[in-house]
Chain A
Amino acid sequence: MYSVVHFTAGSLNMPIDKSDPDPNPNQSKASKFRWGELEEDDNLDFLLPPKEVIGPDENGIKKVIEYKFNDEGNKVKITTTTRVRKLAKARLNKRALERRNWEKFGDAVREDVGSRLTMVSTEEIILERPRTPGTKAEEIKVPGDSLAQLSKGGAVLMVCRTCGKKGDHWTSKCPYKDLAAPVETFVDKPVASEASVAASGSGKGAYVPPSMRAGAERTAGSDMRRRNDENSVRVTNLSEDTREPDLLELFRPFGAVTRVYVAMDQKTGTSRGFGFVNFVNREDAQRAINKLNGYGYDNLILRVEWATPRAN
């Protein structure tokens, strides 16, 4: 005998309303009806497309697509994906089968179907083999992360001069670059002073390197990079399983992201609970902060703010 085990992942499709000033937003969802017939408001808006059930395929995945009205009155499509799985086949003997039909007693008598006393775990738990000391489980999980690939080398000891952390990143890749004030002032002022020096220097006939000549491209370049780091958003209260790809996925909808970083605890290989996301555009970063601050992600409430208190 087997039991049906469900785990559900719901997905909610938001109605198209913000960026598209459509006078009749509800109708953009009703693709089943013809445009010409839908002039007035008191039309077939109350009708919802029928529920679709895409039956269990060979992996046992069943999809149920339902349409509903949410609290704001917008039509909403809900896709529920469940996996139907057979549990262990219990070959019960005769007595055990009889016991299966016993009546409930004690506190179980008044048990309603909704009481969630017995639930199947949503997480897949495996018998974790002991890891040999030195290897990290994260290497398999985050192949795309350049930082992880760097540390895979193992023997190299990376020391960052800005934050002083060993073994995580080189100075040029320090995520706290914009936090270290001395580094910035160095970049800021000498650019201005060197421009004047260059002018006077060339006047004397001294060699002026291309980066310091008048109209040097480099100022714009460094300015661009710095402005990028000014669009750095700090995310705190991350769960310990969160990695760079997760942050990228979470922040990408708001705009182009140049880099993501999640601080890792070297000893345990898990996240230290915070990270940084750099946007290309400041407005994207601002929108991300507005939307994601207080957002529930992996059972924790995120705190999203500017990386340095420089929100003008």
Chain B
Amino acid sequence: MRPILMKGHERPLTFLKYNRDGDLLFSCAKDHTPTVWFADNGERLGTYRGHNGAVWSCDVSRDSMRLITGSADQTVKLWNVQTGAQLYTFNFGSPARSVDFSVGDKLAVITTDPFMELTSAIHVKRIARDPTEQTEESELVIKGPQGRINRAVWGPLNRTIVSAGEDAVIRIWDSETGKLLREADKESGHKKTITSLTKSADGSHFLTGSLDKSAKLWDTRSLTLIKTYVTERPVNAVAMSPLLDHVVLGGGQDASAVTTTDHRAGKFEAKFFDKILQEEIGGVKGHFGPINALAFNPDGKSFSSGGEDGYVRLHHFDPDYFNIKI
């Protein structure tokens, strides 16, 4: 396949997200300006100007009208996807890391980093249909985990919130009361910071990637460990194909190991694994720096990866990808 290279960001990529229809791709980077691209040919549609810090993540509503972005400048902003206009700004006391719309787009879960005296927290905000009615107040604030919470997403039917972060423990919280419902087993869980989390298309299971060079597949309701995928590199980003039983892991290299490994370490790749057999299918090379973001198009026929090199690489699969057998 011939990947399409998009160099719209000056700084490393942090997050990639496709909209529900799969025709738009939103990219966030450390350069303060989230960008939206057409997902078929990589043409840039526009940029959202307004943040003053690195944008860590974003989410788009199901009708592709609203975009929410979380940034290191301690704000979370709501945007009009079409015009690029800012609709609302939520202010926090510390950098916002992860944002996620609920099913129905009426609520959003936002995590904030530990900063000075503040510990990390998970906030739930109500999103009004009409931006003029938007209020600042939180529906719910959950505190508890130590260290940064890198990702928090809604569970099935918005009943739960799943969080994962620097303390390597995945937690499931009740979204109404904020009570901790479940914690991942320490023995079988990750040993180092969990960097990324992605849900399956139906929400029944999710995949977490960690700096301990592995990714694990969990059941959403019971939080039991289903599968583990092992790589040689710390995992920065994970993605699951909505069409085939494939998981993709993207990662980097420990800075300390650079001089001791061979010169081919510059060819960073996104590794494909069979979801059920846990075996490596192959790798897609091309990035000049560690891969920080991965996303699959909801139709499963293309995927994109964002790297430390500032490039977004959009890959449309060749027909023989769909016939791969182990």
A-side interface residues toward B, CB under 8 Å?
1, 3, 5, 7, 85, 87-88, 90, 92-93, 95-96, 99-100, 102, 104-109, 111, 116-121, 123-130, 240, 265, 267-268, 270
B-side interface residues toward A, CB under 8 Å?
1-8, 21-24, 33, 35, 37-49, 63-64, 82-84, 262-264, 269, 272, 280-286, 301-302, 313, 315-316, 318, 321, 324
Residue numbers in A under 8 Å from B316 (CB-CB): 87-88
Instruction: Evaluate contact between B64 and A107: CB separation under 8 angstroms.
Output: no
Indicate whether A129 sits within 8 Å of B281 (C-beta atoms), given known contacts A118-B43, A119-B4, A121-B2. Answer: yes
| Most chain A beta-carbon neighbours within 10 Å: one of B4, B33, B313 | B4
Q: Give 9 A-B contacts (CB < 8 Å), ordered by A residue.
A: A100-B38, A102-B46, A105-B47, A108-B45, A116-B7, A118-B4, A125-B2, A130-B280, A268-B264
Residue numbers in B under 8 Å from A123 (CB-CB): 2, 286
Instruction: Evaluate contact between A120 and B4: CB separation under 8 angstroms.
Output: yes
Residue numbers in A under 8 Å from B8 (CB-CB): 117
Residue numbers in A under 8 Å from B301 (CB-CB): 88
Instruction: Evaluate contact between B47 and A106: CB separation under 8 angstroms.
Output: yes
Instruction: Evaluate contact between A127 and B283: CB separation under 8 angstroms.
Output: yes
Report the nearest A residue to B302, measured CB to CB.
A88
The CA-CA distance from A123 to B38 in the complex, in Å, is 22
The CA-CA distance from A270 to B302 in the complex, in Å, is 31
The CA-CA distance from A121 to B272 in the complex, in Å, is 20
Indicate whether A128 sits within 8 Å of B40 (C-beta atoms), given known contacts A88-B302, A100-B23. Answer: no
Instruction: Evaluate contact between A120 and B2: CB separation under 8 angstroms.
Output: yes
The CA-CA distance from A87 to B41 in the complex, in Å, is 8
The CA-CA distance from A117 to B7 in the complex, in Å, is 5
Residue numbers in A under 8 Å from B272 (CB-CB): 127
The CA-CA distance from A52 to B227 in the complex, in Å, is 59
The CA-CA distance from A302 to B201 in the complex, in Å, is 51
User: Number of A-B pairs whose CB atoms are under 8 Å?
Assistant: 127
Instruction: Evaluate contact between B44 and A108: CB separation under 8 angstroms.
Output: yes
For the residues of A in contact with B, the DSSP-based class is: loop
Instruction: Evaluate contact between A104 and B45: CB separation under 8 angstroms.
Output: yes
Instruction: Evaluate contact between B42 and A121: CB separation under 8 angstroms.
Output: no
Residue numbers in A under 8 Å from B37 (CB-CB): 118
Report the nearest B residue to A130, measured CB to CB.
B280
Residue numbers in A under 8 Å from B48 (CB-CB): 106
Instruction: Evaluate contact between A125 and B284: CB separation under 8 angstroms.
Output: yes
Instruction: Evaluate contact between B284 and A127: CB separation under 8 angstroms.
Output: yes
Chain A: minimal CB distance from B98 (Å)? 23
Report the nearest A residue to B314, measured CB to CB.
A118
- Beyond contacts A88-B40, A121-B4, A268-B262: 13 other A-B pairs, Cβ-Cβ < 8 A, are A92-B23, A93-B21, A105-B82, A106-B46, A106-B48, A106-B84, A116-B7, A118-B37, A118-B41, A120-B4, A127-B283, A130-B282, A268-B263
| Most chain B beta-carbon neighbours within 10 Å: one of A5, A87, A123 | A87
Instruction: Evaluate contact between B1 and A95: CB separation under 8 angstroms.
Output: no
Report the nearest A residue to B319, measured CB to CB.
A88
Instruction: Evaluate contact between A106 and B49: CB separation under 8 angstroms.
Output: yes
The CA-CA distance from A239 to B44 in the complex, in Å, is 33
User: Across chains A and B, which 3 residue pairs bring their CB atoms closest together, nearest first?
Assistant: A106-B47, A105-B84, A105-B46
Instruction: Evaluate contact between B281 and A127: CB separation under 8 angstroms.
Output: yes
Report the nearest A residue to B301, measured CB to CB.
A88
Instruction: Evaluate contact between B5 and A105: CB separation under 8 angstroms.
Output: no
Instruction: Evaluate contact between A99 and B64: CB separation under 8 angstroms.
Output: yes
Chain A: minimal CB distance from B157 (Å)? 25
Cβ contact of A99, chosen from B24, B281, B285, B324, cutoff 8 A: B24
Residue numbers in B under 8 Å from A104 (CB-CB): 44-46
Cβ contact of A125, chosen from B7, B262, B286, cutoff 8 A: B286
